[in-house]
C-alpha cells in the first residue's frame, strides 16, 4: 500500500468517486462550491495533517462532488507562507488531491495588476511565474523538477475557447509570487513590471510547483482585483480585494463549468 500523508474522515473516504480535477479557490472565490452536485463537505480540521488558516475571507473546507457530471474535489481556502506556514504546508491541498487520485489541478487566486493594459475585475491565465518569495515546497529534498512548462498549454487553450464563446475577456501572463502579507510599494510594482510580471500575489506558486513535482497538470487563474500600488491613485484594501473577487467570480463560474468536461477529457496528455 502506498504512503498516505493525510488521514481522511469517513465522509470523505467513503466517497465513491475519484476526482478528475482538484481545485483550490482563493480569497472571495469560494461561491463556486454552490455549483457542485452530490456534494460531500468536510472541514480541514477534520483531515489529519492538513493545515488550516485564520485569515478573513479564507474558509477551510474540502468539498467533493460533481461539476457538469465530472467528479471534482474543491479546496475552499488555503494557507499562506505569510501566516508562518512553510511552502510545503502551503501546498498541502495539492498533495491531498493527489492522494485522492486527481491528476489535474486548477488553482485560483486574487492578484494585483502589474501590467497596466489589464483591466480590474477581469481574469488572467497564468502562462508562467516568478518565484520571488524564493521559497519551495520541495525544500529539504533534492527533486530537481523541470519548470519549463508549469502551466499546461492544452488546458489554457480550453479556457480561452470557453471565454471567447462566453464573450469574456481573459488575459494571459506572468504571475509574480511575493511572500507578503503587506501589499507592495509603488517602487516594488515598477520593479515587478521590469522583471516581466503581469500580476502579483501571495499564493499559488508553491501549489503549482508541488503539482508538477507529482506529475500533475496545472491550470491557474488570477482574479485581477486591484491595480498594483502606484498604478492608480487608490490605496489597496483587503476587503475591496475580496468584494471585487466575489463579483468577478460569477463570470468565471460560467466559463469553468463549460470547460470542466474538456479539461477532464484532456487527462493523461502531457503538459506543454
Ligand atoms: N498584491 C499582492 N497580492 C494581492 C494583491 C496585490 O496587489 N491583490 C490581491 N492579492
Cα–ligand 1 centroid distance for 112 (angstroms) = 4
What residue owns the CA closest to ligand 1's atom 9? 111
Q: Ligand 1 within 6 A of 110 CB?
A: yes
Q: Ligand 1 within 6 A of 225 CB?
A: yes
Q: What per-residue confidence (pLDDT) applies to 267? A: 62
Instruction: Kindly indicate the confidence band of residue 254, based on its pLDDT and cuts at 50, 70 and 90.
Output: confident
How far apart CA 134 and CA 177 sit, in angstroms, is 9
Q: Catalytic residue numbers? A: 27, 58, 80, 82-83, 110, 202-203, 226, 238
Map out the domains of the chain as residue ranges.
Answer: 17-266
Ligand 1 atom showing the smallest separation from residue 201 Cα: 3
Q: pLDDT tens digit string along 143-159? A: 899 999 999 999 999 99
Query: With 50 as the cut, is the pLDDT of residue 1 above it?
Result: no
Q: Ligand 1 within 6 A of 159 CB?
A: no
Q: What per-residue confidence (pLDDT) applies to 57? A: 54
CA-based nearest residue to 186, from 225, 229, 232, 227 = 229
Reduce the DSSP state of residue 190 to 3 states and report it.
helix
139: number of Cβ within 10 Å = 10
Q: Ligand 1 within 6 A of 241 CB?
A: yes
Ligand 1 atom showing the smallest separation from residue 113 Cα: 7
Q: Ligand 1 within 6 A of 111 CB?
A: yes
Query: With 80 as the cut, is the pLDDT of residue 30 above it?
Result: no
Q: pLDDT tens digit string along 98-116? A: 999 999 999 999 999 999 9
Instruction: Kindly indicate the confidence band of residue 248, based on its pLDDT and cuts at 50, 70 and 90.
Output: confident
What residue owns the CA closest to ligand 1's atom 10? 111
Cα–ligand 1 centroid distance for 201 (angstroms) = 5
Cell numbers standing for residue 3? 504512503
Instruction: Kindly indicate the confidence band of residue 269, based on its pLDDT and cuts at 50, 70 and 90.
Output: low
Homologous superfamily (CATH) of 17-266 is Nucleoside phosphorylase domain (3.40.50.1580)
Q: What per-residue confidence (pLDDT) applies to 53? A: 75
Mean predicted confidence (pLDDT) in 8-15: 90
CB–CB of 262/158 below 8 Å?
A: yes
pLDDT > 70 fraction of the chain, expressed in percent and rounded: 94
CA-based nearest residue to 21, from 64, 60, 55, 53 = 64
Q: Ligand 1 within 6 A of 188 CB?
A: no
Q: What per-residue confidence (pLDDT) applies to 103? A: 94
93 or 141: whose pLDDT is higher? 93
Cα–ligand 1 centroid distance for 127 (angstroms) = 18
Query: With 60 as the cut, is the pLDDT of residue 268 above it?
Result: no
Query: With 50 as the cut, is the pLDDT of residue 59 above it?
Result: yes
Got the DSSP string for 137-179? TTTTS------TT-S-HHHHHHHHHHHHHHT--EEEEEEEE--
Amino acid at each position: 500500500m502506498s504512503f498516505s500523508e493525510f488521514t481522511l474522515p469517513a465522509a470523505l473516504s467513503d466517497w465513491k468517486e475519484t476526482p478528475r480535477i482538484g481545485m483550490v479557490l482563493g480569497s472571495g472565490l469560494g461561491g463556486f462550491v454552490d455549483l457542485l452536485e452530490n456534494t460531500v463537505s468536510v472541514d480541514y480540521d477534520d483531515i489529519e495533517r492538513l493545515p488550516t488558516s485564520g485569515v478573513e475571507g479564507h474558509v477551510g473546507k474540502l468539498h467533493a462532488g460533481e461539476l457538469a457530471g465530472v467528479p471534482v474535489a474543491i479546496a475552499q481556502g488555503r494557507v499562506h507562507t505569510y501566516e508562518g506556514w512553510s511552502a510545503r504546508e502551503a501546498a498541502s491541498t495539492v498533495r491531498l488531491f493527489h492522494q485522492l487520485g486527481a491528476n489535474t489541478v486548477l488553482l485560483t487566486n486574487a492578484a494585483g495588476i502589474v501590467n497596466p493594459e489589464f483591466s480590474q475585475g477581469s481574469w488572467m491565465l497564468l502562462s508562467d511565474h516568478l518565484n520571488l518569495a524564493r521559497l519551495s515546497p520541495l525544500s529539504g529534498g533534492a527533486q530537481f523538477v523541470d519548470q519549463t512548462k508549469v502551466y499546461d498549454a492544452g488546458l489554457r487553450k480550453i479556457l480561452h475557447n470557453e471565454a471567447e464563446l462566453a464573450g469574456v475577456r481573459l488575459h494571459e501572463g506572468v504571475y509574480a509570487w511575493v511572500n507578503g502579507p503587506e501589499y507592495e510599494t509603488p517602487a516594488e510594482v515598477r520593479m515587478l513590471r521590469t522583471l516581466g510580471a503581469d500580476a502579483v500575489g501571495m499564493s499559488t506558486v508553491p501549489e503549482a510547483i508541488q503539482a508538477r513535482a507529482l506529475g500533475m497538470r496545472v491550470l491557474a487563474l488570477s482574479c485581477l482585483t486591484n491595480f498594483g500600488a502606484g498604478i492608480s491613485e487608490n490605496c489597496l484594501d483587503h476587503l475591496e480585494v475580496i468584494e471585487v473577487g466575489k463579483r468577478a467570480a460569477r463570470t468565471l463560474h460560467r466559463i469553468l463549468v463549460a470547460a470542466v468536461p474538456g479539461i477532464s477529457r484532456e487527462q493523461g496528455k502531457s503538459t506543454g
